[in-house]
């Protein structure tokens, strides 16, 4: 999902409220860049090495402006909820 200008403002306001003047743990920089889209890492079983495409946590990524170190925030906690999917439309059966 691409983020809108309103989404970016909502994210920046939330991070500023919850995290204050957040500094990068790698370089100490305090300037962060939103990446402009939501991400979804998929589930993975360490024992069987199977991927679970239906499991994952939607995230918003930000990057340190200086060194590029990435941080990820749970988008649901930031207030983004998925839209209701459109109703499934079943095509009529042929020769029915």
Sheet holding 70-74, edge to edge: 32-39, 59-64, 70-74
Tell me what the pLDDT averaged over the chain comes to: 88
Residue 7 backbone dihedrals phi, psi, to 5 degrees: -60, -45
- Determine the straight-line distance between the first and last CA of the chain, rounded to whole angstroms: 39
Q: Give the SS3 label for residue 19.
A: helix
Please state which of the ranges 34-38, 44-48, 55-59, 91-95 shows the lowest mean pLDDT.
Answer: 91-95
Query: Whole-prediction pTM value?
Result: 0.74
Task: Give the pairing type, strands 51-56 and 32-39.
Answer: unpaired
pLDDT tens for residues 49-78?
A: 988 887 888 999 999 999 999 999 999 999
pLDDT at 96: 56
Distance CA 9, CA 5 (A): 6
Q: What is the mean pLDDT of residues 41-45?
A: 87
């Amino acid at each position: 999902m691409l983020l809108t200008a309103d989404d970016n403002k909502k994210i920046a306001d939330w991070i500023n409220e919850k995290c204050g003047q957040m500094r990068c743990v790698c370089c100490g920089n305090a300037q962060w860049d939103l990446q402009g889209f939501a991400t979804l890492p998929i589930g993975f079983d360490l024992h069987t090495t199977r991927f679970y495409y239906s499991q994952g946590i939607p995230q918003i990524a930000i990057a340190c402006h200086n060194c590029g170190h990435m941080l990820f925030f749970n988008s649901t906690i930031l207030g983004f909820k998925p839209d209701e999917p459109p109703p499934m439309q079943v095509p009529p059966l042929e020769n029915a």
